[in-house]
Amino acid sequence: MALFPIYSKREEGRKSIIEQKTLVQTLNLALDMERCTGCGICAEICPEEAIVKGPLGAVGFKEMEVPEMVFDQNKCSYCGVCVELCPFTALKLTENGEPKTDLIDQEGFPHYLKVAEINLDTCVRCKVCEEMCPRDKAIERNVPEVTERQQAVTYTAEMQLDEDPGSENKCTYCGLCGEICDALTVEHKEATPINIEALGEVKFDSTKCDGCKICEEICPTDSIKIDRTISEAKLQGEVTINKDECMFCTWCAKTCPIENTIDIKKIFEGSINIKTENCPAGCSACVEICPCNALYLPPQHEPGEIAAKLEVNDDFCTLCGACVNVCPVANTIEVKRDVIHIEGTETELYKKTAGKMMELKTPTIEKLGT
């Protein structure tokens, strides 16, 4: 006969799940390794010390696996602190299959202030933010596919056709315009022995006209004039940011071609300091593990050139600390969080937890080979 509670752990694809089961309640805490960056914040703040950093995966250019966070199903109290403070939404807590949010519902814990907005009035619906974002699915671009040029703008088009019998530019209904443009249709009336003059009608579909004016250029009698008025020169649809996927790294805001269109506020404020003199030769672990592509090695311009020192772009660093967790040399990288942007009640539990998060974070292992 099983004794309750029953504790278990299982893997489902790239998810690691721990479970506590009683007669009336099943609690699940799931870690999504596709989202996890190995930042280790969950381990830093766990009140039960039920989370530790696992082994580091294989190292290769852009092939490094994040250090898996290992959860002790027997120690975990399923409080949800790690869920609320994971900046990458890699953790999910459920009770009997439904999201468990007691900490928020009872105002026992605040959550991150997540500011990530796109001004649709100034957004031109281009793809720059989507292409520059280091995380898939954070930018949601719901823009209809443009199959014809005229779909790119909102406009009205009008055609003026000279059909005055006394005009030297009178239309002869030759049909050339209809041959080269879908917006024009030329219908001829049957000629008779009495009247052999070409007669007909030119029909104009403004919804198909893109204002290219080729019909004007090809008309042998200069009978056609096209007037187009643009009311909105932008693609239809919208581009938004999925805050559950966003890392708030500001890549999109910094690279958007239209100034002040994207508003991103980082969750943490603070500093990162790298003592490049300590970096072991040939190591690029921090560059490969950085989820925001904030760390980089400047390119070598000449064969045999001495490799440049590691550099960081502070604009894109989110101070997550993943780099610290993979650095093989003690005191080489220092990450310090000074401000945490939150909304909600700052309870005593939160203050204690925030204190841990704002401690100086640096590698503690010794140099390789010592």
Model pLDDT for residues 50-80, shown as the tens digit of each residue: 999 877 644 443 444 555 789 999 999 999 9
Are 118 and 260 contained in the same domain?
yes
Under the banding of pLDDT at 50, 70 and 90, the label for residue 166 is confident
* Residue 330 in domain: no
Report which DSSP code applies to 369: T
* Residue 125 in domain: yes
* Residue-by-residue DSSP string for 151-215: GGSEEEEEEEE---TT-TT------HHHHH-TTEEEEEEPP-SS--S-EEEEEE-TTT--S--HH
Q: What is the pLDDT of residues 303-339, one digit of tens each?
A: 766 666 889 999 999 999 999 988 888 989 999 999 9
Last residue of one domain, picked from the residues 250, 266, 282: 266
* Residue 302 in domain: no
What is the model's pLDDT at position 209? Answer: 86
* Structure token pair of residue 182: 């879908």
Q: Is the peptide bond before 5 cis (omega within 30 degrees of 0)?
A: yes
Single out the residue of 140, 124, 337, 100 nearest to residue 243, CA to CA: 140
CATH number at residue 201: 3.30.70.3270
Are 77 and 155 contained in the same domain?
no
* Residue 368 in domain: no
Are 90 and 11 contained in the same domain?
yes
* Structure token pair of residue 286: 């921090």
pTM of the full predicted structure? Answer: 0.76
* Residue 216 in domain: yes
CATH number at residue 121: 3.30.70.20
Query: Has residue 48 got a pLDDT over 90?
Result: yes
Report which DSSP code applies to 46: -
Pair 232, 140: CB distance under 8 Å: no
Are 227 and 89 contained in the same domain?
no
Are 248 and 201 contained in the same domain?
no
Are 134 and 244 contained in the same domain?
yes
The span from the CA of 182 to the CA of 179, in Å, is 8
* Residue 24 in domain: yes
Query: Has residue 367 got a pLDDT over 60?
Result: no
Mean pLDDT, residues 97-117: 85
| CA 71 from centroid of its chain's CA atoms | 29
Number of structural domains the chain divides into: 3
The span from the CA of 301 to the CA of 303, in Å, is 7
Last residue of one domain, picked from the residues 214, 232, 250: 232
Are 203 and 96 contained in the same domain?
no
Report which DSSP code applies to 259: T
Last residue of one domain, picked from the residues 232, 255, 285: 232
Q: Which domain holds residue 172?
A: 149-232
Are 12 and 106 contained in the same domain?
yes
Amino acid present at 167: S
Are 92 and 55 contained in the same domain?
yes
Are 78 and 168 contained in the same domain?
no
Least confident segment among 77-86, 149-158, 334-343, 358-367: 149-158
* Residue 190 in domain: yes
Are 15 and 84 contained in the same domain?
yes
* Residue 246 in domain: yes
Are 46 and 170 contained in the same domain?
no
Under the banding of pLDDT at 50, 70 and 90, the label for residue 84 is very high
Higher model confidence: residue 263 or residue 126? 263
